[in-house]
Amino acid sequence: MHFQGLPARGCWLGYEQRVALPGLISELLRQGVLSGPVAVTRDHLDGGAVAAPHRETEGMLDGSDAIADWPILNALAAATCGADLVSLQHGGGVGIGESIHAGMTVILDGSDRAERKAARVMRTDPSLGIIRYADAGYAEAEQKAKALGLKPWD
């Protein structure tokens, strides 16, 4: 992991790391190693949370570069799974009218309830990105979806 900033930390995690993170943070909170609450957030930079035809999703295999359904679905899924904050941004550094992005935040306080909600969000969020790219025809995403038991074609 790469970290930056104090007192907050920015890090980039893979799928498995993102799925494990709520349990790890919750355990540290319960042990008193961390004081909480702890906010875990993901901004607009995720495969299933962006439609930016001049940047992140430029040149998608299936031509879905600018289709806003994916970030809207991402935001709705995050809200349904229990995210504490869900956002939709128009622009996301690309320019107003040029993109739409979704973001989410979960709050961990050491409780079982917060951990369960965060675990749902942190699994669904990257899964949607994998499904999006698998749906678009990317072989690596199709392989990852199958390996994880995600079934976007059913």
Catalytic residue annotation: 11
Distance CA 89, CA 78 (A): 15
Cα dihedral across residues 90, 96, 99, 105: positive or negative = negative
- Counting beta carbons within 10 angstroms of the beta carbon of residue 111, is it exposed (0 to 12), middle (13 to 18) or buried (19 or more)? middle
Distance CA 58, CA 22 (A): 32
Residue 70 near residue 133, CB atoms below 8 Å? no
The residue written with tokens 């941004």 in the block is 89
Instruction: Mark 84-94 as b/e (b = at least 16 C-beta within 10 Å).
Output: bebbbbeebeb
